[in-house]
Structure 1
Amino acid sequence: MNANKLKEPGVPNYFKLFTIILINIFVFNTAIAQNKVEKFCRLTVIWKSEHRQLISINYGDKKDLLDSNNPSIINKLDSINNFTNDINAINYMSKLGWSFKKIVSISQFTYVCYFRKIYELTN
C-alpha cells in the first residue's frame, strides 16, 4: 500500500489545529489566573433622610485582605463608615481600586453594593 494515499478518516486537519489552539489558550490562561486573587466587600446603605445615609462596610476578616499588612489601607476602608452620602462612598471605593459589581435592595430604605478587587500575588 502506498503511504501517501492513507489518510486518517473523519476529522479534518483544521479542526485538529483549532482544538490544539484552544487547549493551549486554556492552559495559558489558567497559569496566568493563578497569579491573581479576587477579594469582595459589601457597602450597606440605610437611608435616614434625603440628604443623609448611614453607610457601613464589610470586607470580612482583616487578615484575609491582602493589604492587611498596610494599616493605611484598613484605615481608608474603615473611613467609609463615616460617609453620609452613598455616591461619595461608591466613588471613594472606585478611587481605592475596587470595582462595583452589584446592587441589591434589602428593603425600602436599605440596599447593599458589592465590590471586587483583583490582587496580584507575589512570590
Structure 2
Amino acid sequence: MKKYFFSTLMLLLVMASVASAQTKIDKYCQVLVGNNNYTLYLKKSSAKISFGDRKELFAPKDTTIFQQLKKVNSLTTETDVLNYMSQLGWSVVNIHAITNKWEVIYFKKEFDRSEFAQ
C-alpha cells in the first residue's frame, strides 16, 4: 500500500512540474544606451527601450509593466539601466557595442503565459 501511495505521489509531482513549465514564457527587450555624439564612457548618454516591432508579441494584460519599463528612457548610464532592470526581475542576455556610440543590452524575463494576451 505504501509503495502504491508513494508511486502515485511521485507521478502527481512530476505531472505538476510539467504542467507548470508549460505555463511559463520568456519575453525579451532591448535597451540602447548612448547617443550619436557619444563616445562610450566619456559623455552622458541616454537610454531607449524597445519591445520589438510586432506589438502582439509583447502584449501584457497589465499595462503597468509598460509604465515601469518606460522609466528606462529617463536613465543616463549603463549601470543605472542594469540596476533598474535587475530590480524589476529582468536578466541580461547579451551586451554589445555599436561603433563606440551605442551599447545594446538585451534582457529576458520569465512570465506566466496567462499574463499576456493570446
Residue equivalent to 2:29: 41
Distance across 1 between alignment mates of 2:44 and 2:61: 33
**1:24-65 deviation per Cα after TM superposition (whole angstroms, max 9, x unaligned):** 9xx967654311100000111115362511211011255433
Structure 1 residues 40, 110: closer, same or farther in 2, change over 3 A?
A: same
2:74 matches 1:82? yes
- Root-mean-square deviation (Å): 2.6
**Percent identity over paired residues:** 30
Asked which structure has the greater RCO (Cα within 8 Å, sep 6+), the reply is 2
* Unpaired segments ≥5 residues, structure 1: 1-23
Structure 1 residues 55, 78: closer, same or farther in 2, change over 3 A?
A: same
**1:82-118 deviation per Cα after TM superposition (whole angstroms, max 9, x unaligned):** 1111111111011111111111122112120110000
Q: Residue type matched to 2:98 in 1?
A: I
Runs of 4+ in 1 over 6 A off after TM superposition: none
Q: TM-score when scaled to structure 1?
A: 0.65
* Unpaired segments ≥5 residues, structure 2: 1-10
Q: TM-score when scaled to structure 2?
A: 0.67
Structure possessing the higher radius of gyration over alpha carbons = 1
Distance across 1 between alignment mates of 2:81 and 2:28: 16
Other structure's SS at 2:45 match: strand
